[in-house]
């Protein structure tokens, strides 16, 4: 008997996971990969916005030393922040290579 809404099937990735036996812990790597990519994207967008705003603040400082130093501080903090995010990607990839896993692009 078909229900009111027809037959509902699991997504293809879940079906493959169930038919291959699954349970190898791959789900956590898919989740971590999605979190890393989302964090990297958000950090990149935030970095660009901060650099643009700091650049505008620097240009509009008109020689005011306090405003200029605030703009430079924002620029340096943005650069340090994006470097930390990039380091997280490098670290995740390195750990994945040591363990023989592809953490950033997992496959089920």
CA distance 84 to 88: 6
Domain boundaries, the chain: 25-99
Tokens 């240009």 belong to which residue?
Answer: 59
Q: Per-residue DSSP letters for 55-89? A: HHHHHTTTT-HHHHHHHHHHHHHHHHHHHHHHHHH
Each residue's pLDDT tens digit, 18-61:
555 455 556 676 777 788 788 889 999 999 999 999 999 999 98
What is the torsional sign of CA 46, 49, 55, 61?
A: negative
- Residue range 71-86: average pLDDT? 93
């Amino acid at each position: 008997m078909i229900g009111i809404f027809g037959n509902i099937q699991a997504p293809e990735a879940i079906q493959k996971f169930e038919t291959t036996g699954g349970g190898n812990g791959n789900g956590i790597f898919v989740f971590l990969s999605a979190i890393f990519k989302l964090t990297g994207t958000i950090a990149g967008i935030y970095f660009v916005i901060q650099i643009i705003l700091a650049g505008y603040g620097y240009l509009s400082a008109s020689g005011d030393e306090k405003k200029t130093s605030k703009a430079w501080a924002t620029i340096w903090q943005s650069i340090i922040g994006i470097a930390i995010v990039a380091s997280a990607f490098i670290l995740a990839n390195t750990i994945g290579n040591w363990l023989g896993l592809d953490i950033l692009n997992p496959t089920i």
